[in-house]
Amino acid sequence: MLKQHQDLSRAGSEQKFKGGLADTAEKTVRLHTAHHLLLKALQIVLGPEVHQRGSNITEERLRIDFNWPAKMTDEQKKEVERIVNEKMQEDIPMIRSEMSLEEAEKLHAEHEFGAKYPEKVSVYSLGPKDATQENPDFAHAFSIEFCGGPHVGHTGELLTSGHFKIQKEEAVGQGVRRIKAILTDK
């Protein structure tokens, strides 16, 4: 009986957090978009070899697991926060495109390690400022990721929740770090 309950619970949990999102509440969606900004900021500050290893996003906070061998310095964390907040201020569009898996891979769209994708995928690109659904301009996008959404339309919408702040950065395994972050008025 206990085993059956655990299996049901695990199955429900896997569905609930499919793609890392706890739900599609407005605050969760904002943090999901901030998650995309955070991953690109980590790549800018730490290097292009940084890739997502997992995520969990709720109304209260976002969590990203990423490959990195060492504790981040305070300066690195501050620079990541600065980049994310700068991109929020720039109010750049978040654009969804559907394409073949092959096309997305040619764009070097970020994807979660170990994830299996279908032949047709959804890709979100951030910017540039004049990008549109009809003309995504992948060559000049701030970031491009495989993602099912949902997201805000423009990064400026995140400002209604405050500014981006890293709450905690820690090790969760050999070569894997975790950041927990929020959008806050403080």
Question: The domain spanning residue 120 has which CATH number?
Answer: 3.30.980.10
In a domain, residue 148? The reply is: yes
What whole-number distance in Å separates Cα of residue 32 and Cα of residue 42?
Answer: 15
In a domain, residue 14? The reply is: no
CB 131 within 8 A of CB 141: yes
Q: What residues in the chain have per-residue pLDDT under 70?
A: 1-19, 186
pTM (two decimals): 0.88
In a domain, residue 8? The reply is: no
Residue 135, pLDDT score: 93
pLDDT in tens, 164-185: 999 999 999 999 999 999 999 8
Residue 8, pLDDT score: 35
Residue 91, pLDDT score: 97
pLDDT in tens, 91-110: 999 999 999 999 999 999 99
In a domain, residue 5? The reply is: no
Residue 185, pLDDT score: 83
In a domain, residue 9? The reply is: no
Number of domains in the chain: 1
Residue 112, pLDDT score: 79
In a domain, residue 170? The reply is: yes
CA neighbor of 115 nearest in space, from 57, 175, 55, 63: 55
